[in-house]
Chain A
Amino acid sequence: MNFSLNDEQTALKDTLAKFIERDYSFDQRWKITESDVGWSREHWNKLAEIGAMALPVAENDGGLGGSGVDTMVVMEQLGRGLVVEPYIGCVILPVALLTQGASDIERAGLLERIGSGESMVAFAHTDAGSRYEREQLKTRATFANGAYSITGKKIAVLGGDCAELLLVSAKVGQDAAASLFLVQTSASGVTRFPYPMQDAQRGADISFVNAPAVLLGERASAQAAIDYALDAACAALSAEAIGVMSELQKITVEYLKTRKQFGRAIGMNQALQHRAVDMLMHLEMSRSMAMEAAVAMSAPDAKARAKSVSAAKVLIGQACRFVGQQAVQLHGGIGVTHELNVSHYFKRLTMIGASFGDCDWHLARYGESLLAA
């Protein structure tokens, strides 16, 4: 067993940490989130230069062939900086989907362009009104005159505001299982409603009305790729949460030492000291589970992977909630202001908890694995 990063991973971590320090201070982030598009091409390109986009792309596909642990290293740093560029939406998800769900020919070139930061591809999966449902899709594809077209409504598409291509999950006719399609966002029948998310990342609701689509991989055989990609997103979110929580923990402990009431630091009160200890405990337990999920992404067995990832998402979801809420509480009034960074960390943690399955959803999924065993 080995819990340390290798030299390359340590170097990657240091590079990203420097990027956050130099290019992603809270003020710089503020400028980005307040801009019209709400994210920064310049910062996106910098991440690409560092190699973050090519990292999860396999070497065969022109990438760096990084592992789940490499992704964990990246995500933790992005979390520390509350980076709003759609790394999960336009790198983790499409890379995982294309790698698992498209043939060599179909993905040739595309993965390379994602890896260089040139192309932005998003995953339109969540059907309106279907919560965290992974399999029972409402979006339908039809085949006529030698071509597919798609009709349906997808919500909360990460990076759906800026992507030029969409990977869309849909069922063809009465198929039992999902298929995966490629759709141009500029195509006829595609309408986007872009918006900021609650945590200042951007996304979109997208409606498809007979939108022309290209089938990727085999018809009705995309579920495994979809599951893999959503698990990859969950593992990435878990690692990101570690970055967010560790910053928030640090900021809060510092505040306990400096804010004075009743003539002494508020951190002198045992009630608050114990709260801070519990925050730390949540953080450390989460860190362990983020490792579990990262390693599991390389596991050959899909069931084992699912179990580990869901376990991580449950425990980390609970931690996100506790650490976020308590950081706000321990700051008092200033904690609920837009001006201070604390509320922004809190909001990101809240959104991590609500993304790609909340605690209850993953607890149920984990529980089902016990039934099957």
Chain B
Amino acid sequence: MDLRYNDEQRAFAQEVREFTRANLDPSVAKKVLEGARLSREDYLAWHRALYKKGWVGVGWPTAFGGTGWNSTQQHIFDEVTADEGAPQLMPFGLRMVAPVIMAFGNKTQQDHYLPKILSGEHWWCQGYSEPGSGSDLASLKTKAERSKDADGAHYIVNGQKTWTTLGQHADWIFCLVRTSTDGRQQEGISFLLIDMKSPGVTVRPIIMLDQEHEVNEVWFDNVRVPAENLIGEENKGWTYAKFLLSHERTGIAGVGRCKRIVKRLHHVAKQATANGQPLIEDVRFRDRLAQAEIELRALEITLLRVLDAEREKRAPGPEASLLKIKGSEIQQTLTELTMMAAGPAALPYVREGEHEAQDVAWLSDEAYRYATGTYFNFRKTTIYGGSNEIQRNIVTQLVLGL
């Protein structure tokens, strides 16, 4: 057993760092480090830089143009790029729909979609949740009816998806749709790929509590979808969806992102003062930071254990759900600590670009500009990707057998 990186791994980390420094737009890195919002182009510029280098298919097999990196390399890549302030690679194409297409799509679908996911030509979003079907996803109602006309076999889709993350940027959406109402709910669901430009698709913004536009409602009004956009078999979509969810869970732990926040907290806690001393000298605050770091280290090792088990094709075990629970909790703790460090400077709400535009000296510390908004925003992490209550139910039933 050895929990440290070896020479080869350290050299790899150095290579990733150098590449990132040379290719990441510093203004984007600044935004990421401060917790500011990113534009579609901010994400895509980094995506394309990695694509050129052949590094975008992290976790993909080489046969599909992936890096073929092992789990430790993937982790190093995540950690180092996050540390340098690189935007998160959007998971919806690369980590969610791509593995499903690889595992259950046909050759034509693989040849068509996978290269466009790699190149960044297609931005994907996830159409699972509906207003009435969140935790109880299998109850979803968006209907797809198969029919045939002179132009060929197709589905007519009607219904509504919601909470669609960054759907406003998306070219394509992968949807769970109801193709049958016979038998168990789970047995009437299909996995359908839909072009967002199809007539009848409407995207409506949902403004989140930090007053940002991050999620959407997506409405389908008699949307015509070619039958060849069906993944796998009709009414087998639930199996594919579950496969995808397990992929989502390990990625969602956000260890790289947490390490970046911790580093920034160190910086902030040294700058801020409390009772005339640097905040880091305040034993209460320092203990909180220390505690969070300890938990983060435990999470990191656990993540590496899970990834390692997956590589060796052993069943992931209980750790996958535990990773989601603990990872999201640590993310929330860290964003809360950042807000705490700000003290009263956490109170003002300043829209991005506003204080530059106002040409007035901004007195409340700039370092905290996004601290409170980020804390608010991160309440989502224990809700999405299967809420933490649902994760605990999964562990209760499948692991503990209670």
Contacts and interface: CB of A to CB of B under 8 A. Distances in A.
Interface in B360-402: 360-365, 372-373, 375-377, 379-380, 382-384, 387-389, 392-393
Contacts of B380: 333, 336
B349 A198 contact: yes
Nearest to B279: A131
B358 interface: yes
A136 B272 CA distance: 15
A363 B284 contact: yes
Contacts of B349: 195-198, 200
A206 B360 CA distance: 10
Interface string A109-136: 0000000000000000010111111001
Given A131-B345, A205-B361, 5 more contacts: A155-B345, A325-B379, A336-B209, A336-B379, A337-B206
B276 interface: yes
B71 to A, nearest CB: 31
Interface in A169-222: 191, 193, 195-198, 200, 203, 205-207
Counting chain A CB atoms within 10 Å of each CB, the highest count among B135, B375, B384 belongs to B135
B344 A355 contact: yes
Contacts, number: 158
B402 to A, nearest CB: 12
B295 to A, nearest CB: 18
Contacts of A101: none
Interface stretch (A48-56, A241-249, A343-351): A343-351
Given A132-B274, A193-B358, A269 B389 contact: yes
Contacts of B215: 333
Interface string A136-170: 10000000000000000111100000000000000
A59 interface: no
B207 interface: yes
Contact of B347 (A156, A206, A361): A156
B85 to A, nearest CB: 24
A333 B129 contact: yes
A367 to B, nearest CB: 10
B387 A332 contact: yes
Contacts of B372: 198, 350
A262 B397 CA distance: 16
A278 to B, nearest CB: 14
- The number of chain B residues touching the other chain, given as a range, is 35 or more
8 contacts: A133-B274, A197-B348, A197-B349, A262-B135, A263-B136, A329-B383, A333-B215, A361-B274
Contacts of B274: 131-133, 361
A64 interface: no
B348 A203 contact: yes
Given A156-B344, A355-B344, A130 B273 contact: yes
B149 to A, nearest CB: 37
Interface in A350-370: 350-351, 354-355, 358, 360-361, 363-364
Contact of B135 (A191, A207, A332, A364): A332
Interface string A314-339: 00000000000100110011011111
B350 interface: yes
Contacts of A269: 389
A318 B349 CA distance: 23
A358 B372 CA distance: 14
A86 B206 CA distance: 29
Give chain B's interface secondary structure class. Answer: mixed
Give chain A's interface secondary structure class. Answer: mixed
Given A131-B279, A261-B134, A358-B340, A337 B207 contact: yes
Interface in B192-220: 206-209, 211, 215
A199 to B, nearest CB: 8
Interface in A60-115: none
Contacts of B375: 350
A266 B345 CA distance: 38
A129 B284 contact: no
A373 interface: no
B344 A132 contact: yes
A271 interface: yes
B317 interface: no
A295 interface: no
B285 interface: yes
B276 to A, nearest CB: 5
Contacts of B340: 354, 358, 360
B331 interface: no
A128 B389 contact: no
B387 to A, nearest CB: 6
Contact of B383 (A154, A203, A335): A335
A89 to B, nearest CB: 12
B343 A358 contact: yes
Nearest to B360: A193
A272 interface: yes
Nearest to B392: A271
Nearest to A152: B363
The 3 tightest CB contacts between A and B, nearest first, are A131-B343, A343-B209, A205-B363
A354 B343 contact: yes
Interface string B113-147: 00000000000000001001111100100000000
Interface in A247-284: 260-263, 266, 269, 271-272
Given A131-B274, A156-B345, A207-B363, A333 B282 contact: no
